[in-house]
A and B are shown apart, each in its own frame.
Chain A
């Protein structure tokens, strides 16, 4: 293999591909990144769960395929000067030259490198930026421990041209609906994608205008358990999670006894300030009355904080307590200057949405904490 490539596209492609390198490779070759050079340069990583592939449109002087340590390549390329990079393979090693710096990397056995899974047929496409922000809005609510493995996923529900993303860790639930362009009309299905992978993927795929979603929907490979995403010369596949997902629709309150509206940024700031005195696992308490919301944290035996902010409030006076971090997450996730909180009772979930008419496309359902005080 022999080729010359600009540093910037190489650095971006290597960094993207390196994200799928396993932290604890069970076979040494899995710690490698495969470089396939021909009419274009293709970089691949795979750990049997997640695969990543990036393509750089650069023709090789001599085609060839090598596998080198992925982590090392990523670190080297990241710190190279802004000059063209020469890659050349000679026997058992690859030499990387950039400016006056030279690196020699040992080759890993390329014939032991696993075959990457085929990309399923494209199911539809969605705007890259809209997809990334929607995933970001729901990923915060996904579970992080493996007690209930299904909750570490984001549920993607496809109903014709509506894509619904759902995540919950049992304490909060985030639901986002967005439009997408399915390849075929009338498709109805739901899959569970690991939230960590999907979060990373969505952020990294914003280099292209559109993200193609690839999911086996029928025939032999249906339910094969992988999903693929592709955009801007990059593609990734991941195994789907199995397991039963809670019936989240029943958790969304439909009627409310009170509604408050607050400026989102000021509200989040105030919660952060007041929460400084809240010991771990203790709530911030909110009291809503017409025109005002009073935030409180801490107890009489410890430090205490209180702050009042302006709020429009409609309904019976409400005293309710939340985990401060979960509350801040929710206020930060709405795509609006005004946060609307809808209440039923102080012991039932509240719903945080942006201000707007009709059904909001993003809802953050938060379970209150029963406050002793």
Chain B
């Protein structure tokens, strides 16, 4: 990355011709060969530029940039104020939706946000059409068993009771497939994590659930859509399909302390 601050005039000759009169400007020469002319304004947009592939020819007081189709950018330099080059190395690239990945990571270790005594199976659980963000097992069936056999002397622990409350919700929203106890306790739950969940997130999770429920070792697999915000249409569709919606508080999950709340 080469940064030159110089008093220069610029002439572009190609599909159109343009002239910038002499003024102090920033010239950027990037490692990929691109040349950009910036003024001290106009945000990210250069006044003039040449995209790679192009060739820069430097003569005293004059730079000529030529591209494949013969267009030229001629920079006439009257005075150079500064000329620096820095090797930036390889850029790791833009991590799209870093928050989403972080939410997944945080939720995987904070499964209590979904229900008491839930256990992680794994993150990025593979399916033939791509990985599910989180696969876990709930405590619902355990709790149901305790409740149903309560009269025969089974002790109802605090955890099982609150698990029962969770299962009660799942029964209604999940279309009632809680009867078969899964060995090891706890039915499988596939969780799709989003920053903002729209209709497409519900469709995506529905496709995963469709495939996962074909596996006799996994089914019944319930679904949870967990997001910082869930669009009303998406919530309606999800709940109609028996998918539970959970709104996540990113700041709280990250452990950001707030001093403006009561608790």
* A interface, over-half SS: loop
Which of A34-42, A209-217, A365-373 lines the interface with chain B? Answer: A365-373
Interface code A232-260, partner B: CB below 8 Å = 1, 0 otherwise? Answer: 00000001001110100001000000000
Q: Determine which of B162, B245, B262 lies in contact with A172 in the assembled complex, contact meaning CB atoms within 8 Å.
A: B262
- Given A147-B247, A225-B168, A365-B262, 8 more contacts at CB 8 Å? A145-B247, A146-B230, A146-B245, A147-B248, A171-B262, A242-B169, A251-B263, A367-B260
What is the distance, in angstroms, from A254's C-beta to the closest C-beta of chain B?
15
Q: Give the interface of B toward A (CB within 8 A).
A: 162, 165-166, 168-169, 172, 230, 232-233, 236, 239-240, 245, 247-249, 252, 259-263
Taking the closest CB of chain A, its distance from the CB of B201, in whole angstroms, is: 15
Q: A242-B168, A242-B169 are in contact. Are A168 and B262 (CB under 8 A)?
A: yes
**Distance of A373 Cα from B259 Cα, bound (Å):** 16
Interface residues of A in 1-45 (CB under 8 A from B): 23-24, 26
**Across the interface, do A24 and B248 meet the contact criterion of CB distance under 8 Å?**
no
**Within the complex, which residue of B166, B169, B172, B236 is in contact with A24, where a contact is CB–CB below 8 Å?**
B236
Q: Is A349 touching B249 in the complex (CB atoms < 8 A)?
A: no
Measuring CB to CB, which residues of chain A are less than 8 angstroms from any residue of chain B? 23-24, 26, 145-149, 168, 170-173, 223, 225, 239, 242-244, 246, 251, 347, 349, 365, 367, 369-370
Report whether A244 and B162 are in contact in the complex, using a CB–CB cutoff of 8 Å.
yes
Complex Cα distance A145/B245, Å? 13
For B233, list chain A residues within 8 Å (CB).
24
> A246–B165 Cα gap in the complex (Å)?
16
Task: Tell me the minimal C-beta distance from B144 to chain A in angstroms.
Answer: 13
In the assembled complex, how far is the CB of residue A318 from the closest CB belonging to chain B, in whole angstroms? 18
Set of chain B residues within 8 Å of A148, measured between Cβ atoms: 249
> Nearest-CB distance from B187 to chain A (Å)?
18
- Cβ contact of B263, chosen from A147, A170, A223, A369, cutoff 8 A: A170
Q: Which residues of B contact A349 (CB under 8 A)?
A: 262
Structural contact, B262 and A170, CB atoms closer than 8 A? yes
Q: With A and B bound together, what is the CA distance between A23 and B263 in angstroms?
A: 33
Q: How far is the CB of B227 from chain A (nearest CB, A)?
A: 10
Do B168 and A26 touch across chains, with their CB atoms under 8 A apart? no
